[in-house]
Amino acid sequence: MKRGLRHSWPRTDTRIYQEPRNLVAHGLASARITATGRRPRTVYSITDEGRRALADWLEEASQPPQIQSEAVLRATFADAGSKDALLATLAGLRREGRLIQHQLGEQAADYVATGGPFPQRLHLIALVGRFLSDYAQLLEGWASWAEQVVSSWPDVATADATTIPSDVFELVIQRAARP
């Protein structure tokens, strides 16, 4: 789960481990207890009903994507705080984008060297890996740009004392006008 879904389906560990039990309760998965040394572990398997439900779900239209970023939320309300706090938030987001890139790079190197734990799924892993790498690059690039912009401001309290990056509005308008 941490290798494959942490960026596209972020949940707390307890929530992730509750979901297989929920699938078993609904007849979509089965569970069997095995042992790793003296420690018991539960192995879950999808049932035929679960495969049908998964196939049905894959045929449905997806919900629109949602952005969940505490750093972006903090930037939205940064005028209630300090310039230093905003710069620290942006630096943290930049580092996180770089960390994600590094983690994805390690996984990609493993896929190239060994095929990874699910070599029969490499085509899908590559597809999603590109998205995640682009996303991490977006985080890192945007945060770096935002740090440069904010660094030139005397504070974050009001737009009166700052240089507004109005070229952003033109960029957004141009992007929206593309066919």
DSSP per residue, 9-72:
S---HHHHHHHHHHHHHTTSEEEEEEEETTEEEEEEEE-HHHHHHHHHHHHSPPPPP----HHH
- 64-81 burial, b at 16+ Cβ within 10 Å, e below that, comes to eeeeeeebbebbeebeee
Q: Which structure tokens are listed for 74?
A: 């903090």
Using alpha carbons, select from 14, 146, 165 the residue that is nearest to residue 87. Answer: 146
Q: Which structure tokens are listed for 19?
A: 């979901």
Residue 148: exposure state from Cβ atoms within 10 A (0-12, 13-18, ≥19):
exposed
pLDDT tens digits for range 43-70: 999 999 999 999 999 999 999 988 888 9
Q: Enter the pTM of the model.
A: 0.81
Q: What is the architecture of the domain spanning 13-59?
A: Orthogonal Bundle (1.10)
Percent of the chain at pLDDT above 70?
Answer: 92
pLDDT tens digits for range 119-153: 999 999 999 999 999 999 999 999 999 999 999 99
Res 126: pLDDT: 95
Res 13: pLDDT: 63
Q: How confident is the model at residue 5 (pLDDT cuts 50, 70, 90)?
A: low
pLDDT tens digits for range 153-173: 999 998 887 888 889 999 999
Q: How confident is the model at residue 36 (pLDDT cuts 50, 70, 90)?
A: confident
Instruction: List Cβ neighbours of 10 (8 Å cut-off, separation of 6 or more).
Output: 68
CB 139 within 8 A of CB 100: yes
Place of tokens 């420690």: 39
